Amino acid sequence: MLSQFPHNRPTALLLIPSVIAIVGTADTIRCMQPRWSLYHGGVLLLIYMDLMAVCMILFLLLYPYMLWIADAR
């Protein structure tokens, strides 16, 4: 009920978490080491997790715009 699901509206407020998630991913990438080790593998898993979160945030940011464009036709 809080999200008003059938009537999704685009909001620019989702830009804030998307920028924060991208900066967090860049900070995680900074921790990579040139030689492979278990630490390197753990950081690689964290990067994949960060990319999944960024993709989900961007999907939730862009999905209402696509619905809005489809309704305008």
pLDDT attached to residue 71: 72
Q: What distance, in Å, lies between the first and last C-alpha atoms of the chain? A: 27
The amino acid occupying position 52 is M
User: Using CB atoms within 10 A of its CB, is residue 58 exposed (0-12), middle (13-18) or buried (19+)?
Assistant: middle
The beta-carbon contacts of 23-30 under 8 Å, at least 24 apart in sequence, are 24/50, 25/50, 25/51, 25/54
Asked whether the whole model's pTM tops 0.85, one would answer no
Q: Which tokens in the block code for residue 48? A: 């994949």
User: What value does the mean pLDDT of the chain take?
Assistant: 84
Q: What is the pLDDT of residues 17-72, one digit of tens each?
A: 889 999 999 999 999 988 999 999 999 999 999 999 999 888 888 877 777 677 77
